[in-house]
Amino acid sequence: MSLLALYAICAFCVLLGFAALLMQKIYIDPQTNMPTSVEVPALGRIKTNYPALVFVCLGIALSYVAFDKFHTNKELWVITGGLEIKSDRPELVDGGINWSDGDIVLVPHDLVSSTIQENGRFELSVLVESGLMIEDKFDAIQFTGHPLVFGHINLNDSEIENSGNHTRAYRFPVELAQQLYPEEDKK
């Protein structure tokens, strides 16, 4: 969801809540036959229209979340690399591997834009808090979801091909599933 759409929803909730407050109905408590009221720390005791207050509070809370999420001081990091098979049995890879059949993710998981080409070249783009290195926020990269291969590299112990200000390029050796589970190879 875009930032503009999120702010539009927040503004709509706040406006709807204020409109409902202006056209307020007073709700009567069935037990006491008195108007219901709420104690608000900054405003004191107010007679309430609960749905209107919910809309106002929801709009304010959503706008705070949107502002906090999209306006924190974050920097874009780009991680690139190439997936390569680490195998002593190349015959298990008849005709090559379409790498784009798998997924590449950062660990711990975060919202990341990722692409994998058929030839194994990949790119990950992620926002990291200003002042942190990519290795401070993430432990590893995993290649999963492919029926033939699996890979995992630790960002602190891996082989960096190239390192820039907000970029990293990694060699990413992966293992064949048959090497990980040799008993299935015998079936």
**pLDDT, tens digit, 9 for 90 and up, residues 25-73:** 677 778 888 777 777 676 667 666 666 777 778 778 877 877 776 666 7
Type of residue numbered 50 = Y
CA atoms of 170 and 161, how far apart (whole Å): 5
Query: Which of 152, 149, 171, 153 minimizes the C-alpha distance to 89?
Result: 149
CATH number 2.60.40 is the correct assignment for the domain at 74-185: yes
> For the chain, what is the mean pLDDT?
76
Q: Is the pLDDT of residue 126 over 80?
A: yes
pLDDT at site 101? 84
Distance of alpha carbon 35 from the chain centroid = 45
CB contact at 8 A, 29 and 36: yes
Per-range mean pLDDT, top range of 71-75, 81-85, 175-179: 81-85
Neighbours of 146 (CB within 10 A): 20
pLDDT at site 21? 72
CA atoms of 109 and 140, how far apart (whole Å): 10
pLDDT at site 157? 73
pLDDT at site 46? 67
| Domain ranges, ordered by start, for the chain | 3-70, 74-185
Per-range mean pLDDT, top range of 103-112, 118-127, 178-187: 118-127
Contacts of 87 by beta carbon, 8 Å cutoff, 6+ apart: 93, 175, 176, 179
